[in-house]
Structure 1
Amino acid sequence: MFTDEDAERVHHPHDNAIVITLLIADYTTRRVLVDNGSSADILYYPAFQQMRLGQDQLCPVNLLLVGFGGMKVHPVGTITLPVVVGAYPQQITKEVNFLNVDCSSSYNAIIGKLTSNS
């Protein structure tokens, strides 16, 4: 949740992307895009490697993602990781099922469903 104080230097209306830092699997993950329109939570493979998580932790998945511009990508697998949002004392931890994707991106992750009940 964002407060009025968070919006003090934002010119309204705005259409800028919301890019945040999250603690994913005890790793400070910068450049996380918040995209409520995304139907999946994505963790890009280079970020996965930096977290030093084992390839054996990925569960195989057989699906095809279609991204911007019609680019099609086969995920490497899925992985469920704890994500900490906020700072003490106002923080929550939620288990998030990420699709792991090995393709080029300026982000380390995309959070699309974090606030939903699914």
Structure 2
Amino acid sequence: MKFRKKPVVIEAIQTAGDKESIAALIRFFPQLRVYPAHFGIKTLEGAMESSTGDWLIKGIKGEFYFCKPDIFEETYEEDALARERLARALAKTSFGPNAAGSYLPMVDTLLRKMEEV
């Protein structure tokens, strides 16, 4: 039989070797182990290692795992709807009843800042 993945939203960050990227990875997953040539995590299935460029994914139940870039690209796409939903939600708050489109720059800034936290 063939199966199709259910459309779910995940959080993910791509691994890189520079200090800022490593700091963002550690904020995303504080238990991350940083080695000279790879990153390491403990998962439900055991220890996993990744290379620079792999994606660290937080699954729908809070589990973490690595994914190779080519598989990630074939499997996932950016959740553009989340960005639009956030803009519409801001339009309904005390920020004012402006058109949701005017909040997209604010949403983009918030999403970038969320990656830093």
Both proteins in one fold, TM over 0.5: no
Interval of TM-score (by shorter of Structure 1 and Structure 2): under 0.3
Larger relative contact order (Cα-Cα within 8 Å, sequence gap ≥ 6):
1
Structure with the largest fraction of helix: 2
Greater CA radius of gyration, 1 or 2? Answer: 2
User: Which TM-score applies when normalising by structure 2?
Assistant: 0.26
User: Which TM-score applies when normalising by structure 1?
Assistant: 0.26
